[in-house]
Amino acid sequence: MKRRSKRYSNLRNLIEKREYSLDEAVSLIKQTAQAKFDESVEIAIRLGVDPRRSEQAIRGTVSLPHGLGKPVRVLVITKGEKAAQAEKAGADYVGYEEYLEKIEKENWLEFDVLVATPDAMKDLGKLGKVLGPRGLMPNPKSGTVTMEIERTVKEIKAGKIDFRVDKAGIIHSSVGKASFEADKLKDNIRSLLQMIIRMKPATAKGTYLRSIYVSNTMGPGIRLLPNTTEFQE
């Protein structure tokens, strides 16, 4: 069993074994952010779905109203006019063969989001073993396979994130930085949860939001009260 630091144990003692309202949880997030760097705020949402069933393998995007508080590096694989649009929109890297080769031969992954036009997917598919496990493979469901390159890059740069349920039925995501004002963190958390609630599959039975935990990068988990009108639109 991993031994926790004294600092972590002290922070853990601040958190009771109960479910907190969003206001209480964000207040604790601010209180427990004691690292020497600006910690990310993470959320883990356990859903009552079976990810093995395609209609319950939830994946989508949402624009966080206040972004993530950090630069998002965008690589766009395309050519011609769409490449010019990507550059205009502020993509960090734009190209085709040179980046495919760089990923394949150098295992280069110095980007956070990969956007591609549909015609590029036949070549990107060959890199599935590298990109897939890291969640970097473009996908139409997440809007990263598109002809709307300029709009997509701008949205990602402004705070649009991709989320998906893992094999254990859990969605993991960042929702901002510990330095954010409390109201901004709450706005981001609500936006993500509202989107996930809207995506509830008709075939999902029983409790949908099983549990929700928020935490700082270096801090303990704080359990949110799920299935509350607080997250309804």
Q: Which domains does the chain have, with CATH numbers?
A: 6-67+161-231 (3.30.190.20), 74-158 (3.40.50.790)
Average confidence (pLDDT) over 4-31: 85
Distance CA(10)–CA(106), nearest Å, equals 43
**pLDDT per position as a tens digit, 36-88:** 899 999 999 999 999 999 999 998 889 999 999 988 999 999 999 999 999 99
SS3 category, 42: strand
What distance in Å separates the CA atoms of residue 50 and residue 226, rounded to the nearest whole number? Answer: 19
**Alpha-carbon span 113 to 57, nearest angstrom:** 20
The neighbour count for residue 173, using CB atoms within 10 Å, is 20
User: With bands split at pLDDT 50, 70 and 90, how would you rate the model's confidence at 118?
Assistant: very high
pLDDT at residue 22 tops 50: yes
Residue 127's pLDDT is 95
pLDDT of 230: 73
Least confident of 69-73, 93-97, 184-188: 69-73
Using pLDDT thresholds of 50, 70 and 90, give the confidence band for residue 1.
Answer: very low
Q: Residues 172-179: what's their mean pLDDT?
A: 95
* CA gap 56, 26 in Å, rounded: 29
| C-alpha dist (Å) from residue 107 to 8, 53, 228 | 35, 32, 44
Residue with more model confidence, 28 or 229: 28
**pTM attached to this predicted model:** 0.79
The whole-number pLDDT of residue 104 equals 95
DSSP state of 165: B
Task: Judge residue 167's burial from the number of C-beta atoms within 10 Å of its C-beta, 0-12 exposed, 13-18 middle, 19 or more buried.
Answer: exposed
* pLDDT at residue 228, rounded to an integer: 65
Instruction: State the Cα–Cα distance between residues 226 and 83, nearest whole angstrom.
Output: 43
CA distance 173 to 48: 18
Q: How confident is the model at residue 2 (pLDDT cuts 50, 70, 90)?
A: low
Q: In whole numbers, what is the pLDDT of the chain averaged over residues?
A: 91
* More confident: 225 or 10: 225
